[in-house]
Structure 1
């Protein structure tokens, strides 16, 4: 359960990097540094002992690397929110797979760390809400509620309810939110099965659209249905999905 002060554990085998994080943490209100680990094995041991809310975790360390540490701790119900702090950008996908809340590049900027901590706070609040629902017998939604995608700042959380449409690009899916978009490594079939069908509808083998983002339908010169979207763009409806138009229009 999150309290007024969040406890933080730093795991980094570089003394100067660990000291830098310590200084930044001391400048931030509502945080308390409870320990520093110098390698992966010590990080797991101290996390188990100190039960920190947040773990600032390097990736390249002696013993267990950061990904292995996050994987080991992630099996626990009260696992800390993990923020990777690293000089290497090639581990972003692996960080997503172990449910890190953010991915911060060294040298760490104060404002960038504040953003990461805010994301950790949000993740902790969501975890606490989920645990509260389980305690009261309330079932968690079976549908995907969020995605994590990488960008220049690290990892970005994207709420499923904010996604306006999804388009396929080879082995990746592009999530469109307003004027921005992000690529994630999913299949269209997996997204169709994972997203709430009362909220999203598949209109083409390579496109899904949020139902309330559809402004209307029209036919093109070939007689095929085209969905008019709220942002003024159009999405062709695949021949195999034309029954979706009738389903939506019949409501």
Structure 2
């Protein structure tokens, strides 16, 4: 079991680490942290099974950190540690696995560790396909094998990487050789292009074997029109963008009981589909998935606004704006949010930023409705 310990008292961290590793056993402390702000990034980096989190932290309260961690590392179990019993109700409202009072006694800590193990075991039981490898297509092509960190696939050439991505994009469908040659080797003699194609297919198969992706096969077939081509087939292999879209479709309309699940699924969207590559053929799918993410982000943002959670809504819209700087709706929503929060300078900043980006980046004017709202708000200035 991998554990991350977060407490602003270094002595408390050392004592807890010693108890877990020496007295309890079976626990590897993969990281300790005294800074609540740094803790969130460290948790994302280390991916621990359990996080022991002190509640009375400076700068950012441990309960707030726990709420963020439940979104960024939802698979990690959270155990709150504190000297104040009156935090218990709030801790369990955040669906913490356990709540330990200081000073910590070995017998009590042992019960918590057993509870974590039992919870982790149940989590594995409800994921029968968790031992399948995953092909990752958000941003960069990578592979994630069971119980291992994701790794970049080592391709012999850039052509091999693009052809694999192209066949994966058209998985379970025949892609004719003529189409592949026109895409990757246009304008060269057909005999030379075919030789390049055969060699590249060979290199792709080698790369898949070396990566442990034995369930992905590429076979040559003859199409109905008589032309030869290739079909990429996946068995017992997952694709992260497919899993993500399936999860989005399963979500119900946001409500209080499962808003964290919406935020967790949205956080699974790590970037554009094959976004690190200039593949024009992927642009339509890239835009389609991007629109799904943006649409659901706006949906959750509106729900948070209706619930009076203005700060959380601000963070969501800033995230949209950072990832997709030409999304007008995020600027307009931020303008109205900052107005409601009495932050006049931020309203002006958002409108000016939108204007500059649209005029310089797109050569277009800001939407008339947004401009009219801003002029009315600013008194016509």
The two structures have a TM-score, normalised by structure 2, of 0.33
Name the one with the larger strand percent.
1
Structure label with greater radius of gyration: 2
